[in-house]
Structure 1
């Protein structure tokens, strides 16, 4: 099924709004991007266990995501290429690449724990608005490097 340009733009915007809401620690804005019964899946590399962890529900997911980054100085999620496929007029799936920067203090300076992520996404159109119905993180690699904070 062919996806029209307005749906493609809306889904691309959805991924950007997710990144913005996480970086601004805005649980209300984040929850509004998910269906009520959204499933959010964290890989073992991010949840500290040997198996993926699934979190359900838009308010639980938004609180969990913001809580996970709240101890950091700042974050920056840079959404890169996104592949999108329409399944039906109201459902779609896709993959979005993301460079996630996690800035934290160390000693007298700061470091950036950069994680290269691919989001495996499922979407549902609810009352004319595209929302995430499932978001699964896949970690490709990470690095930890010193950074200099400017404009402090």
Structure 2
């Protein structure tokens, strides 16, 4: 992987905007803002979930922004979540870009006195599109590399 020695102000602004998009996705997820999360996607987006990142086919594939509502609403089944974004790589080509970003996601379930914490290591493989001056997800592949589920105390 090579890194640019210098970048233009426009590219720096694009990189920052894409990173803000990635972070907004996690923020909306943790706030249970499904509509806000959906607004981060292009109308004709494709969203694929790979519950096992080594699988050749997705566990779930959705087409179109409106199809995302049930996936994002599913987060309501958890008492709380925290998505912590890590490193990302972005390649920009005009009004299109691709990228990979890492996330450690914590999902807390509370059933009576029983608390369970599921931690997932996720990579997102993204295609971005700049539309009307704003970057959106054109395609997002959610790749679960591993999970760990354990008891949790208050």
Relative to the length of structure 2, the TM-score reads 0.85
Which structure 1 residue ranges, 4+ long, deviate > 4 Å from structure 2? none
Partner of 1:75: 81
Which SS does the other structure have where 2:77 is aligned?
Answer: coil
| Structure 2, unaligned runs of 5 or more | none
1:25 deviates by 1.1
Q: Could you tell me how far apart the structure 2 residues matched to 1:142 and 1:27 are?
A: 23
Partner of 1:37: 44
Partner of 1:15: 22
Deviations 1:53-99 (A, max 9, x none): 210111221x122222111101111111010001x210000000000
Q: Could you tell me how far apart the structure 2 residues matched to 1:102 and 1:44 are?
A: 15
Which of 114, 123, 131 pairs up with 1:126?
A: 131
Which of 95, 98, 105 pairs up with 1:93?
A: 98
1:110 deviates by 1.3
1:32 deviates by 1.2
**Does the CA-based 8 Å contact 2:121-2:145 persist in structure 1?**
yes
Partner of 1:139: 144
RMSD: 2.1
Q: Could you tell me how far apart the structure 2 residues matched to 1:50 and 1:97 are?
A: 20
Q: Could you tell me how far apart the structure 2 residues matched to 1:65 and 1:14 are?
A: 18
Q: How many aligned positions are there?
A: 145
Which SS does the other structure have where 1:70 is aligned?
Answer: helix
| Structure 1, unaligned runs of 5 or more | none
Relative to the length of structure 1, the TM-score reads 0.87
**Does the CA-based 8 Å contact 1:39-1:135 persist in structure 2?**
yes
